[in-house]
């Protein structure tokens, strides 16, 4: 999608700088009539120090090396929701910042950092002393140093949107979210429309694109939203989105050609809704309690499309020390419903390597299609799981679905222009769900679910899907 370019004329005052006219894609930040253009790092620092709510500070295109231990400090600067302080590149991607450090935030709110190519060697941090910080439209490829995380968010209400994280080969995450102390989480963080690509760390753990918490923080309610992000060739960890906190929403993301999947590793009460997981190694894996896994489309995963895990502990508890929460929390009261899983090694499976089985869980009204002669369902523990209304089809056998938990019928699928196989008229999946789902009002395509739901992720409709697998042009710095 081509950028929506427009021109802004800046009226310069206070620093003796000259006027400039720049072109850039449409931004989520507020358009202003007045801005300050800086042509050196010193001018940029002076403009930031003098800024007030509504200020827009523009760094002229070019490459700037931040020398030695110097930084670009943004300290005790406070915009407002209607008038944030914006620090941005003259054009998106037109300013490259190199050196050991870059922007260093402290005690600030309603600040936007927009459009830079960031190449610093140290972690870019949003500390707990800040709130309402927006990191927008940046190209992020920091120093590829063993164990270094590239962006670490610890501040409430941070928005990380339309950035491109790419090209990491060492241990460390692209983007981490933590919080205060040893067990807190930043609240209400939004991670939206970012492009995560090309993480090639060869270890088996520690190279996540997004790590939302840590085991010691797992019982902290984060309330984060991770939506409309694209992951491609993310091979640094089996967990592309690693959730280690409570109360999060993971929706409308696309993971393609990657080792990593979506993993609720620690924590409770998260919702995984209407994601595409395509042509990779891992699908969706679940531990913890009271999760809702709904409307997801998982196709051509070498392993299992959905894994309902087992536990080494029944439940983590608030009185447990953060260090003691590293074990796997057995799933309780997890709902896996209205998903479509096709052409995977196994559609839905469990685990037997830990002693504690799922309890009070349900696997209902899913559409499971297997093109090869394997099992669709492989669950070593069945007593704690209720099956109903699942529709099975293909060369794969039903597997360990209990009697009455599924039916075998051709769902009459057809691939759309996006490659997604959806229901066609006359499908036996239409209007036959056995359960009601009051909180599930939309389907995979973001169409309404009306009346009795259709089985699987797609509610049959002739309307154009609103939610499709994302492509690079839909996300990152140049996206609309």
* Distance separating alpha carbons of residues 48 and 33, to the nearest angstrom: 18
Any idea which of 166-175, 320-329, 416-425 has the lowest mean pLDDT? 320-329
Domain assignment of residue 102, yes or no: no
Domain assignment of residue 301, yes or no: yes
Q: Pick from 248, 241, 322: which is nearest to 285 by CA?
A: 241
* Total structural domains within the chain: 1
Q: With a cut of 60, say whether residue 373 has pLDDT above it.
A: yes
**Cβ atoms 103, 77 nearer than 8 A:** no
pLDDT tens string 231-285:
999 999 999 999 999 999 999 999 999 999 999 999 999 999 999 999 999 999 9
- Strand positions, DSSP E, 230-296: 230-234, 239-244, 249-251, 254-256, 261-266, 271-273, 276-280, 284-286, 292-294
pLDDT tens string 445-476:
999 999 999 999 999 999 999 999 999 999 99
pLDDT tens string 182-231:
999 999 999 999 999 999 998 888 999 999 999 999 999 999 999 999 99
45 by DSSP, 3-state: which? Answer: helix
Q: With a cut of 90, say whether residue 102 has pLDDT above it.
A: yes
* Distance separating alpha carbons of residues 213 and 241, to the nearest angstrom: 11
pLDDT tens string 405-452:
999 999 999 999 999 999 999 999 999 999 999 999 999 999 999 999
Q: With a cut of 60, say whether residue 27 has pLDDT above it.
A: no
Domain assignment of residue 399, yes or no: yes
Long-range contacts, 407-410 (Cβ 8 Å, 24+): none
Domain assignment of residue 27, yes or no: no
Mean pLDDT of 119-126: 98
Instruction: Enter the DSSP assignment of 395.
Output: S
Residues 6+ apart with CB under 8 A from 170: 144, 145, 146, 147, 148, 201
CA atoms within 13 A on the CB side of 122: 14
Q: With a cut of 60, say whether residue 100 has pLDDT above it.
A: yes
pLDDT at residue number 20: 32
Q: Which has more confidence, 23 or 133?
A: 133
Domain assignment of residue 68, yes or no: no
Highest mean predicted confidence (pLDDT) among 10-14, 282-286, 372-376: 282-286
pLDDT at residue number 145: 96
Residues 6+ apart with CB under 8 A from 320: none
pLDDT at residue number 321: 78
Q: With a cut of 80, say whether residue 1 has pLDDT above it.
A: no
Confidence of residue 364 (pLDDT cuts 50, 70, 90): very high
Domain assignment of residue 434, yes or no: no
Q: Which residues pair with 375 in a beta bridge?
A: 397
pLDDT at residue number 469: 98
Question: What is the domain range of residue 202?
Answer: 123-404+466-474
pLDDT at residue number 386: 98
Percent of the chain beyond pLDDT 70?
93
* Distance separating alpha carbons of residues 260 and 238, to the nearest angstrom: 4
Task: Please report, for the domain that includes residue 211, its CATH number.
Answer: 2.160.20.10
Confidence of residue 319 (pLDDT cuts 50, 70, 90): confident
CA atoms 395, 399, 404, 405: torsion sign: negative
- Mean model confidence pLDDT for the chain: 92
* Distance separating alpha carbons of residues 374 and 304, to the nearest angstrom: 11
Confidence of residue 11 (pLDDT cuts 50, 70, 90): very low
CA dihedral 474, 477, 478, 480 (to 10 degrees): 60
Domain assignment of residue 366, yes or no: yes
Degrees, nearest 5: CA angle 475-477-480: 60
Taking the whole predicted model, whether its pTM rises above 0.75 is answered as: yes
What 3 state SS string does 363-429 have? EECCEEEECCCCEEEECCCCCCEEEECEEEEECCEEECCCCCCEEECCCCEEECCCCCEEECCCCCC
* Distance separating alpha carbons of residues 285 and 275, to the nearest angstrom: 13
pLDDT tens string 69-93:
999 999 999 999 999 999 999 999 9
Other CB atoms within 10 Å distance of the CB of residue 2: 8
**Cβ atoms 437, 453 nearer than 8 A:** yes
DSSP string, 190-214: EEES-EEEEE---SSSS--SEEEE-
Domain assignment of residue 212, yes or no: yes
pLDDT at residue number 357: 95
Q: With a cut of 60, say whether residue 17 has pLDDT above it.
A: no
Residues 6+ apart with CB under 8 A from 42: none
Share of the chain residues as helix, strand and coil, in percent rounded to the nearest 5: 5, 40, 55
């Amino acid at each position: 999608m081509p950028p929506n370019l427009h021109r802004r004329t800046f009226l310069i005052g206070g620093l003796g700088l000259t006027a400039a006219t720049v072109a850039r894609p449409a931004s989520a930040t507020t358009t202003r009539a007045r801005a300050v253009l800086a042509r050196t790092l010193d001018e940029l620092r002076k403009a930031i120090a003098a800024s007030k709510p509504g200020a827009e500070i523009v760094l002229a295109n070019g490459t700037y090396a931040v020398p030695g231990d110097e930084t670009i400090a943004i300290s005790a600067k406070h915009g407002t929701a209607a008038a944030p302080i914006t620090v941005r590149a003259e054009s998106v991607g037109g300013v490259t910042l190199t050196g050991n450090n870059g922007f260093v935030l402290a005690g600030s709110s309603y600040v936007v950092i927009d459009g830079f190519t960031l190449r610093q060697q140290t972690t870019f941090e949003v500390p707990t002393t800040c709130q309402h910080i927006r990191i927008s439209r940046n190209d992020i490829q920091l120093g590829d140093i063993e164990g270094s995380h590239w962006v670490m968010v610890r501040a409430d209400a941070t928005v990380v949107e339309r950035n491109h994280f790419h090209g990491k080969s060492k241990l460390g995450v692209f983007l981490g979210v933590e919080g205060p102390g040893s067990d807190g989480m930043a609240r209400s963080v939004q991670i939206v429309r970012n492009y995560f690509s090309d993480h090639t760390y060869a270890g088996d753990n520690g190279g996540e694109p997004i790590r939302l918490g840590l085991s010691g923080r797992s019982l902290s309610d984060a309330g984060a939203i991770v939506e409309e992000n694209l992951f491609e060739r993310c091979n640094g960890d089996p967990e592309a989105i690693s959730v280690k906190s409570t109360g999060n929403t993971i929706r409308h993301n696309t993971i393609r050609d990657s080792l990593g999947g979506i993993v609720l590793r620690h924590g409770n009460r998260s919702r995984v809704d209407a994601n595409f997981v395509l042509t990779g190694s891992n699908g969706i894996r679940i531990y913890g309690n009271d999760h809702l896994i709904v409307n997801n489309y998982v196709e051509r995963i070498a392993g299992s499309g959905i894994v309902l895990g087992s536990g080494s502990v029944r439940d983590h508890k608030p009185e447990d020390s953060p260090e003691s929460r590293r074990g796997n929390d057995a799933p309780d009261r997890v709902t896996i419903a209205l998903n479509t899983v096709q052409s995977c090694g196994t559609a839905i499976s469990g685990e037997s390597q830990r002693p504690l089985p799922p309890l009070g869980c349900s696997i209902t009204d899913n559409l499971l299609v297997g093109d090869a002669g394997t099992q669709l369902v492989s669950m070593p523990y069945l007593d704690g799981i209720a099956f109903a209304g699942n529709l099975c089809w293909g060369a794969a056998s039903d597997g360990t679905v209990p009697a009455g938990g599924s039916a075998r019928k051709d769902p009459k699928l057809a691939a759309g222009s996006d490659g997604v196989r959806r229901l066609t008229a006359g499908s036996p999946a239409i209007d036959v769900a056995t359960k009601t789902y009051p909180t599930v009002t939309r389907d995979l395509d973001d169409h309404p679910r009306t009346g009795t739901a259709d089985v699987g992720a797609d509610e049959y409709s002739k309307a154009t899907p609103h939610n499709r697998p994302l492509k690079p042009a839909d996300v990152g710095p140049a996206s609309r």
